[in-house]
Amino acid sequence: MEEIRLHGRGGQGVVKASQIVVAAAVKSGLHGQFIPFFGVERKGSPVYGYLRLSHREIRRKTQIYEPDMLIVMDDTLVTMPNTYAGLKPGGAVLINTRRPLEELNVPDCASVVAAVDATEISERRFGRNLPNTAVLGAFAHVASLVDRDVLFGEIAAAFGEGNRLSAAEGYETVRFLKGGNQDV
């Protein structure tokens, strides 16, 4: 089972993005589960999400304490103590940022750190900071469990072709700051 914790802010589409991943996983014959954790439901407040993908039935409905992967939708969250808490040694981090690795506060135990400038992509394409589909595109590059084409199909089904293109751009422009294939 792969456990992925998402950190974002209300209004950035953490919940919808995660639901799309679950839909893509289920369509690929996997089991997927997503539990959002809201504080107060308003724009800008921190939002957590717990995403699990597995070849077997997922029974636990709990928070994720030792994630295999972290997805950070907003790089103002990298200084919050909860953001990197419990990351598994050898785990992966995907951040929506244009900043260099040194400024991201990533713990040494992370073996892969990937960055995508999803805010820039979404502001250019949609005129608003809706980074989730570009981040999902980058996620398809970093994560192995979910098939890219199935995921992009689900994005298009949920949000239309413009967001499929946004995801494709996220996929193409992801930068590996540590580990992974840094030539990409």
Partner 1 sequence: MGSIRVLTGNYAAAEAAALCRPDLISAYPITPQSSVVEHLSELVHNGELDAELVQVESEHSAMSVVQGAAAGGARTFTATSAQGLALMYEPYFRMSTLRLPMVMAIATREMTSPETIWSGQQDAISVRDAGWIQMFCDSNQEIVDMIIQGYMLSEHPQVCLPVNICYDGFYSSHLTCGVDMPTQEEVDAFLPPRSANHSALLDPRSPLALDPMTPGELLMNYRRNHLAAMQRALEVIEETDRKFAAAFGRSYGGLIEEYRCDDAELVLITLGGMTGAGKDAVDESRERGIRAGLIKLRFYRPFPAARLASALRGKRAFCVVDRSVCFGWNCGPMYVELRSALENCGSYARFSAIGGLGGADISVADMARVIDRLNDIKDRPGEYGTLWLMKDQEAEV
- Minimum CB distance to partner 1 smaller for 35 or for 156: 35
Residue found by looking up tokens 């709990």 in the block: 62
Least separation in angstroms between CB 35 and partner 1 = 5
Least separation in angstroms between CB 100 and partner 1 = 35
- Minimum CB distance to partner 1 smaller for 33 or for 97: 33
Least separation in angstroms between CB 27 and partner 1 = 8
- Minimum CB distance to partner 1 smaller for 22 or for 93: 22
Q: Are 178 and 105 in contact (CB under 8 A)?
A: no
Q: What are the residues facing 112 on neighbouring strands?
A: 92
Q: What angle do CA 33, 36, 37 make, to 5 degrees?
A: 140
Give the binding site for partner 1 (CB under 8 A): 18-19, 22-23, 26, 31-38, 41, 58-63, 65
Residue 136 to residue 141: CA distance in whole angstroms:
9
Q: What are the residues facing 48 on neighbouring strands?
A: 7, 37
